[in-house]
Amino acid sequence: MPFVTTEDGTQIFYKDWGGDGSPVLLSHGWPLNSDAWEATALFLATHGHRAIAHDRRGHGRSTQTWGGNEMDTYADDLACLLDHLDVTDVTLVGHSTGGGEVLHYVGRHGSARVAKLVLVSAVPPLMVRTDDNPDGLPEDVFDGIRAGEAANRSQLYRDLADGPFFGHNRGGDVPQGTRDAFWLQGLASGTRNAYECIAAFSATDFRPDLAAVDVPLLVIHGDDDQIVPFDISGRKSAAAVPGATLLVYEGGAHGLPDTDRERLHADLLAFIDA
């Protein structure tokens, strides 16, 4: 299997599908891995693009590191992968935590390799409530997720899959197999990695990264996202970047790569090929 080794010896697993078309890097959400983007990677590769997706450190087939489970290191790992593959003019696409990762990459490493940026149900600008972010979610929301991770993470992932992640608790028609795939991918993560990643996606302030964006940005978000609410995330991210395009999926849940797959694929392809 293909791996790239980072400076601290971590092995990052990645997929590299398709031919010589323009590259697209797909970054997954918590607590998943690159398999979450499998259908999208296949779609993009069959439409002439080079589709790249990786397992974040501590997730999937990548090394379950003890340290480095925070956004700076995630962005540096992504830089290592892009440098290793030597891709240029890449479109970075991030779902949920992955949206924070690709945005932080631009803020930390610049856009020399980047053509476009897409945030899907993504965590920026800042999820947790602070004095200067009063619209954020209370810290006890994330404490509750940490408590579930520590007590019985298998049940936590089952509850998320059967409930708010795909909107199944609001009548969303999400197949059992899709929900099972979320559960299985979650359990493939390291428990320490998944636990510490909760702080990475909830407490990282991405506002400076949004200010650094100098490439075309597409923000896609469901207005019924129960995991990363639209009003504190997608709406604000799009407003923070002049010229950004915002697509709101009416009634859309958090797991758009599965719940709204055909629409998302069409919107991604149109933006990438424009």
Catalytic residues: 96, 225, 254
* Pairwise CA distance, residues 193 & 63, whole Å: 10
Distance of CA 163 to the CA centre of its chain: 19
145 sits in the region (left: phi over 0; alpha: psi -120 to 50; else beta) called alpha
Query: 268, 217, 271, 246: which is closest to 41 by C-alpha?
Result: 268
Residues 6 or more apart whose CB falls under 8 angstroms from that of 204 comprise: 70, 71, 100, 104, 123, 126
Report the distance separating Cα 93 and Cα 115, nearest Å.
11
User: At which residue do the structure tokens 């080794």 appear?
Assistant: 5
